[in-house]
Structure 1
Amino acid sequence: MNGMRIGAHVRNSDNPLEEAEALDVDLVQLFVTDPQKWKKPVVGEGLERIRDSAVDVVVHSSYVINVASLNNRIRIPSRKSVTEQAAVAAEVGALGLVVHGGHVRDGEDPDEGIANWRKLFERQAESGGFAVPIWIENTAGGDFAMARHFDAIAKLWDAVGEFGAGFCLDTCHAWAGGEDLVGVVERIKAITGRIDLVHLNNSRDDFDSARDRHANLEEGTIEPEVLVEVGRASGAPVMLETPAEGIAADVAYLRSL
């Protein structure tokens, strides 16, 4: 694990630097607005302090965003929010913006959702591209998800890969989504050509459960050694999104290897 960059999702957006220093991490992930609402992001004092520090930042986009949606009332504000949050991410010097793959509703054509992803990149390319790289994250559930199963991710990448889309691999999501973690790095790189970030999370639920419930590294249903190997093989920074009460122990566990 020598050389691995270890990060954590911080809950205190008012003072993320203080939390990063307490956890002794190399980088942090944070929201730049309320993740459950359509609020416009702003750079407050806390974000300014971490921008001016030696700690690197990754921004996670709002949960309400669903670029793939066929519903105009969701898709259109989603496109706007991705652009706004990427701009603020650039203001704080973020490495990238993580965006969930999203989904269409039951009975709708997933290919239309993929087409909507392509339109997002096409439209932004006309304005010079996004302010930071967009890293699409695999998701845990949904039969009509854009990025749950790897065959779906392959179709998505055929549509957006040419625009420089990045990939964020979440180990809990892959496990709960029914994708074996043994050899997962090689399999996903064969599709995307890259892994820009690993969300290194254990799972509270069984394989292929379609449930997105994270556990601390040594306490879930995934063998910790398997998680460590995914992080090591990826060559990418790892970000812990594990439960807050055990995240310091997770950092210490990785540091001890």
Structure 2
Amino acid sequence: MRIGAHVDRADPLAEAAARGAEVVQFFLADPQAWVAPEERTDTAALLATDLDVFVHAPYRINVATLNNRIRIPSRKHVADYAAAAAQVGAKGLVVHGGHVDKGHDVADGIANWRKLFTSAKEQFPLPILIENTAGGDNACARKFDALARLWDAVGEFNVGFCLDTCHAHAGGEELLGIVDRVKAITGRIDLIHANDSRDPFDSARDRHDNIGAGEIDPDLIVAVIRAAGAPVVVETPGGAEAQKADIDLLRGRST
């Protein structure tokens, strides 16, 4: 069982070591900005590491939206970040499932996801890992009925899936048996984001908490990890010390 954390992008290998991590995830630039991936000086070290490396795409990306001012740069950013992530040896680029605005049909957002792959000039150099999201009635990957429709549209393109436990809980999907339900739709789970939730079930609020400090029974998170058999990343608050405690807890109870 390989478990690690989302860390600051400045020196992810040092941050991983401070947490005793076997998996590391980080951004390649400011996640709140429309900016290109930053040049890195640690590419050789990242390529040589025995850690599982994942890159999280910027939050502003929304492939599904019908708003051209967001969708068009989103497509370009997915391509640019996928190329940059592959250059540092990442096993996948995590991209949120996105949503359409109120009054629009989720089917249009799903169609836009398909266009991301069919209109790409060439195949992406690593798997795009679509992540389930916590909020929005018009989301493409919050409720699993929408996720099934999304997978019907994009599954043929070797798309991967990232399951976030906080997002599922806050999004109204029970964690008990969730791995089987996801795999029945996607056939795969490539990465687990193991996060507790500060908010109640189906709250639609995306606020992570440390394992055991929030609203989710830690045994449910451990059960998800065991059933999925995928690399695990904690995206929890508190810096290295708190994340190391989360990793140690999960590692101790998952083996």
| Counterpart code for 2:126 | V
Deviation at 1:7, TM superposition (A): 1.5
- Percent same amino acid among aligned pairs? 61
Q: How does 1:1-257 map to 2 (within 5 A)?
A: 4-11=1-8, 13-124=9-120, 127-245=121-239, 246-257=242-253
Superposition CA RMSD, Å: 1.1
2:130/2:162 contact within 8 Å kept: yes
Deviation at 1:85, TM superposition (A): 0.1
CA distance in 2, matches of 1:110, 1:222: 29
Give the secondary structure class of the aligned counterpart of 1:35.
coil
Q: Deviations for 1:147-167, whole angstroms, at most 9, x for unmatched residues? A: 100000001001000111110
Q: Which has the larger displacement, 43-52 or 68-77? A: 43-52
TM-score by length of 1: 0.95
Deviation at 1:192, TM superposition (A): 0.6
CA distance in 2, matches of 1:95, 1:202: 24
Deviation at 1:110, TM superposition (A): 1.0
| Counterpart code for 1:156 | L
Give the secondary structure class of the aligned counterpart of 2:119.
helix
CA distance in 1, matches of 2:228, 2:39: 31
CA distance in 1, matches of 2:111, 2:234: 31
| Counterpart code for 1:21 | A
CA distance in 2, matches of 1:189, 1:160: 15
Aligned residue pairs total 251
| Counterpart code for 1:79 | R
1:68/1:117 contact within 8 Å kept: yes
1:16/1:47 contact within 8 Å kept: no
Deviation at 1:53, TM superposition (A): 2.2
TM-score by length of 2: 0.96
Which structure 2 segments of 5+ residues have no match?
Answer: none
| Counterpart code for 1:158 | D
| Counterpart code for 1:78 | S
CA distance in 1, matches of 2:215, 2:49: 36
Which structure 1 segments of 5+ residues have no match?
Answer: none
Q: Deviations for 1:34-83, whole angstroms, at most 9, x for unmatched residues? A: 10111111331245433332222100000010000101110000000000
| Counterpart code for 1:197 | L
1:204/1:214 contact within 8 Å kept: yes
2:4/2:233 contact within 8 Å kept: yes
CA distance in 2, matches of 1:256, 1:137: 26
